[in-house]
A and B are shown apart, each in its own frame.
Chain A
């Protein structure tokens, strides 16, 4: 499948999110199966990042969820590969396999290589997991964020804001309709959230919880009053 893709017009966007600790993803960014490649910088730096790949700077900085949403705006191809460019877990072979699987219709969205920290995990397990259980009856999204996200742009382009875990909102959109259409690989390799985000865990996890409640209310999965009570409980 990939061989034919190479000879035909490629239609995949590769976007690397970074706060400035770019790891060795050069091979991935040189791969010809991607028709457009961008680095999206969401860190806080006064100096420019020097990269061969075009780099887009996000304002306001330090908001991963917002950066991902803006990255979706920039990407024009129907299939999008969104990776944490600071990751040590992103590997080229997984991405190629997943692209092939999605092309073959095996699943619609893929998440792998959790991006987390102790603080994120603790709050996520206490706040978000119970909400996901009660809303979807699922625990599939076991981590607060992931370093590899692959899926069609139409599913990843979500009209909802959250400060950190944008992929959860995209996954939620798909999970609500079809639980089998998402593939999550949790345990191969785990990335640590950069130190720059220390102390922001509570802000980000509560923002995710509020966004999940909003989306669930919108889809009629939970009653509006119940949703409002849940949000009040988060204050």
Chain B
């Protein structure tokens, strides 16, 4: 297998680390605008070429026609696009590109990217999860499976309702059996079915996007049911106090 890698110093370590695990060992050509990448390439025994703001040199590497895979992991989408265009003529069958601005997905796909790894989305979603409790955050963690969806919910105010985990499992199991449901404590441990959701607990759904969407709605219905029960009970208490 022959792999072409165009990588910046920021992404060099993970990309080269992963490619290095391939068995049998592939033949790898690494190109970069950053000379710092050369040391790591040499460490792995890969051929390295330094890009000096001149992509014409890439177009002249005729042997790229024989390559099976290209990984483009620059710091900016514009650089990935420029390299993508320069290697287009070699018709490399699999081209994996790192995406930094979600809006540029179509642009990269039109230029010939086979798989797009969305760094932007990863950052956005994880920030949202940490900043916004009691909100569903959806992500597509696998570039090759864009319809595979994970939805995450961090419980904060709704922990008040003491909703048993078994109820969550029941509503999702009844309505969307194709969705895998997990509940974690704030420390990342699994919560057993006979426990209740607490402050900081996570609900995680995984499956096809439509199924996850439906399962998520079912859980929301359950939350609202508990909210109503809680509100009714609270107003009853106030009423009883007033009369008592």
- With an 8 A cutoff between CB atoms, is B101 at the interface? yes
Q: Are B104 and A57 in contact (CB under 8 A)?
A: yes
Among A48-56, A139-147, A160-168, A180-188, the stretch in contact with B: A48-56
- With an 8 A cutoff between CB atoms, is B171 at the interface? no
Q: Are B81 and A73 in contact (CB under 8 A)?
A: yes
Give A160 to B54 CA distance when docked, in angstroms. Answer: 15
Closest chain A residue to B85, Cβ basis = A76
Residues of B within 8 A of A54 (CB): 106-107, 110
Residues of A within 8 A of B135 (CB): none
Residues of B within 8 A of A55 (CB): 103, 107
Give A74 to B110 CA distance when docked, in angstroms. Answer: 13
Given A57-B101, A59-B100, A70 contacting B78 (CB threshold 8 A): yes
Q: Are A74 and B104 in contact (CB under 8 A)?
A: no
8 A-B pairs, CB-CB below 8 angstroms?
A: A56-B78, A56-B81, A58-B101, A59-B101, A73-B79, A73-B81, A74-B78, A159-B53
Q: Provide the main secondary structure of the chain B interface.
A: helix
Residues of B within 8 A of A73 (CB): 78-79, 81-82
Q: Provide the main secondary structure of the chain A interface.
A: mixed
Residues of A within 8 A of B138 (CB): none
Q: Which of A48, A70, A71, A159 is in CB contact (< 8 Å) with B103? A: A48
Q: Which of A41, A59, A76, A159 is in CB contact (< 8 Å) with B76? A: A59
Among B79, B85, B103, B107, the one with the most A-chain Cβ atoms within 10 Å of its Cβ is B103
User: Closest approach, in angstroms, between the C-beta of A222 and any C-beta of chain B?
Assistant: 25
User: Closest approach, in angstroms, between the C-beta of A87 and any C-beta of chain B?
Assistant: 23
- Seed contacts A56-B78, A159-B53; 12 additional CB < 8 Å A-B pairs: A41-B103, A57-B77, A57-B103, A57-B104, A58-B78, A59-B77, A59-B100, A59-B101, A70-B76, A70-B78, A73-B78, A73-B79
Give A123 to B155 CA distance when docked, in angstroms. Answer: 53
Binding site for B on A (CB under 8 A): 41, 48, 54-59, 70-71, 73-74, 76, 159
User: Closest approach, in angstroms, between the C-beta of B153 and any C-beta of chain A?
Assistant: 23
Residues of A within 8 A of B81 (CB): 56, 73-74
Residues 9-39 of B, flagged 1 when their CB comes within 8 A of A and 0 if not, give 0000000000000000000000000000000
Q: How many residues of B contact A (CB 8 A)?
A: 16
Residues of A within 8 A of B103 (CB): 41, 48, 55, 57
Residues of B within 8 A of A58 (CB): 78, 101
Residues of A within 8 A of B101 (CB): 57-59
Residues of A within 8 A of B104 (CB): 56-57
User: Closest approach, in angstroms, between the C-beta of A57 and any C-beta of chain B?
Assistant: 4
Closest chain A residue to B56, Cβ basis = A76
Residues of A within 8 A of B79 (CB): 73
Give A73 to B85 CA distance when docked, in angstroms. Answer: 11
User: Closest approach, in angstroms, between the C-beta of B107 and any C-beta of chain A?
Assistant: 5
Give A74 to B79 CA distance when docked, in angstroms. Answer: 8
User: Closest approach, in angstroms, between the C-beta of A85 and any C-beta of chain B?
Assistant: 16
User: Closest approach, in angstroms, between the C-beta of B211 and any C-beta of chain A?
Assistant: 26
User: Closest approach, in angstroms, between the C-beta of B140 and any C-beta of chain A?
Assistant: 17
Residues 80-102 of B, flagged 1 when their CB comes within 8 A of A and 0 if not, give 01100110000000000000110
Within 8 A of A (CB), among B39-92: 53, 76-79, 81-82, 85-86
Q: Which of B53, B77, B85, B86 is in CB contact (< 8 Å) with A56? A: B77
Q: Are A56 and B107 in contact (CB under 8 A)?
A: yes
User: Closest approach, in angstroms, between the C-beta of A86 and any C-beta of chain B?
Assistant: 18
Closest chain A residue to B120, Cβ basis = A59
Within 8 A of A (CB), among B102-117: 103-104, 106-107, 110
Give A76 to B103 CA distance when docked, in angstroms. Answer: 21
Closest chain B residue to A38, Cβ basis = B107
Give A95 to B86 CA distance when docked, in angstroms. Answer: 27
Give A128 to B178 CA distance when docked, in angstroms. Answer: 65
Closest chain A residue to B86, Cβ basis = A76
User: Closest approach, in angstroms, between the C-beta of B76 and any C-beta of chain A?
Assistant: 7
User: Closest approach, in angstroms, between the C-beta of B123 and any C-beta of chain A?
Assistant: 12
Among A41, A48, A55, A57, the one with the most B-chain Cβ atoms within 10 Å of its Cβ is A57
Closest chain B residue to A39, Cβ basis = B107
Residues of A within 8 A of B77 (CB): 56-57, 59
